[in-house]
Amino acid sequence: MNNKSQLLKGSLEGCVLQIINLKEETYGYEIAKILKDNGFTDISEGTLYPLYTRLQKNGLIKSTMKESNLGPLRKYYSLTDAGKEELSEFCESWKYLTEHVGNILGGNII
């Protein structure tokens, strides 16, 4: 089992939702850059664009096309109310998971 890949797959959606939440509105390349700048160097844009499509299809993000000073129109993403709720639930689940896994991996078992 490729542990890193499986763990990443489960957490990437939450990270992308949080980046969009913090930026309020952002485009795909900027999200990819933020992920890379924060240590996710293995992530390619080819991995992210299907994720954006899935998030939009599930009603968690919405997009608008806007002019860019550097060339063609850009697709900007923002969270929907459902996306904000999903992010909140992800953060609660993440906190629970990291606390309990951390306890066991740290040898703090009952």
Which among 87, 97, 95 is positioned nearest to 13, based on CA atoms? 87
Query: Would residue 54 count as lying in a domain?
Result: yes
- % residues pLDDT > 70 (the chain): 97
Structural domains counted in the chain: 1
Q: State the amino acid at position 7 in one-letter form.
A: L
Q: Indicate whether 110 pLDDT > 80.
A: no
**What average pLDDT does the segment 21-26 reach?**
96
Per residue in 35-72, pLDDT tens?
999 999 888 888 899 999 999 999 999 999 998 888 88
Record the tokens describing residue 23, joined without a space. Answer: 């930026």
Q: Is residue 40 part of a domain?
A: yes
Q: In the structure encoding, which two tokens stand for residue 28, read together?
A: 């795909």
| pLDDT exceeds cutoff 70 at 3 | no
pLDDT confidence bin for 1, thresholds 50/70/90: very low
Residue 33 lies in a domain: yes
Q: C-alpha distances in angstroms, 11 versus 6, 60, 65, 68, 78?
A: 9, 15, 27, 30, 19
Average pLDDT of the segment spanning 2-10:
73
Domain span holding position 65: 3-105
Mean model confidence pLDDT for the chain: 91
Tell me how far apart the alpha carbons of residues 44 and 73 are, in angstroms, rounded to a whole number: 21
Mean pLDDT to the nearest integer, 63-82:
92
Contact 15, 43 (CB under 8 A): no
Instruction: With respect to residue 98, please indicate whether it lies within any of the assigned structural domains.
Output: yes
Distance CA 16, CA 44 (A): 13
Q: Does a structural domain hold residue 49? A: yes
Residue 110 lies in a domain: no
Q: What CATH number is associated with residue 9?
A: 1.10.10.10
**Which pTM was predicted?**
0.88
Whether residue 88 is predicted with pLDDT greater than 70 in this model: the reply is yes
